[in-house]
Amino acid sequence: MPRFIDVVVQAHAALPDGFVGRWKAAGEPAPIDRVWYEPDDGPDGDYGVQGAWRDGRRTPAQQVRIDDSAAGVSLLVLGGDWGLRLQLDGCPEKAEPYLIVAPED
């Protein structure tokens, strides 16, 4: 029986629309602390990533392989109930509800 990963991010100041999504898992979750990120407003780079929570906690983000019908197998990066926080040295912190990135082979 397939296993699914649900991402539910509550709306808040950094992500006013919130987010709800579901993907078919193709592996087990594992912690991740860095991810290649290409934000619309730049700069691209190797960002530190953490899960953000409504109560202010930061925890390790999680990665899980997913079946992505458009790209084959991809990595879903997810965080807490307030999504992800991404940090690149010298740049303002960025918020995302989740990321889908190419797996490192």
In this prediction the pTM is 0.91
CA dihedral 37, 29, 24, 7 (to 10 degrees): -70
**75 bridge partner residues:** 65, 101
Task: Show me where the domains of the chain are located.
Answer: 4-101
The three-state DSSP-derived secondary structure of the chain is CCCEEEEEECCCCCCCCCEEEEEEECCCCEEECEEEECCCCCCCEEEEEEEECCCCCEEEEEEEEEEECCCEEEEEEECECCEEEEECCCCCCEEECCEEECCCC
pLDDT tens digits along 18-62: 999 999 999 999 999 999 999 988 899 999 999 999 999 999 999
Angstrom distances, CA of residue 68 to CA of 16, 24, 50, 103 = 26, 8, 23, 12
Q: Read off the pLDDT band of 105 (50, 70, 90).
A: very low
